[in-house]
Amino acid sequence: MRTFIAVVIASLTALAALAIAQPTVPDVPFHDALRGTAPLDTEPKPPLMAPTENKDVIRGLNYAQQPPTIPHKIDNYQVDKNANRCLACHARSRVEESGAVPVAISHYMDRDGSVSGHLSPRRYFCTQCHVPQADTKLLIGNTFVAVEDIRQQPASKKQKR
């Protein structure tokens, strides 16, 4: 019984010593892909904004269900409750003359899934989901592969279990 009590007391003493021990600070400064080495209690100087791409080339997706990006400049486009400049080219009635990608049919559905003849109010403000791009260095890596691009191995190469 005494040895049991001695073991319990020794364990509690060791745990108490660990609890009051000071945390160690690594010698290497913390580095975050978005903040760099700036301490969390400071505001780092933001990088210069890169110019917007204006290539009119449709980019691939970076993740599943990603809204397509805008492949051209949209500076000074009016997109508010009074007007939507995007629809001058992307409205289904205008795509034949503009050559632009038409607004997806999902943008004509209400929240109950009913399709109407006009753009749904919840899909009216294009830049809520669609954004222009800049040709810059990636801040973080991405290994996303679209389902269509995943190729199955031939049956002869599959491992037998």
Which positions make up the binding site for heme c? 72, 86, 89-90, 107, 126, 129-130
Summarize the annotated binding site as residue ranges: 72, 86, 89-90, 107, 126, 129-130
> Residue 61, Cβ neighbours under 10 Å: how many?
13
Half-sphere exposure of 88 (CA within 13 A, CB side): 8
Residues in Cβ contact with 131 at an 8 Å cutoff, skipping those fewer than 6 apart: 69, 70
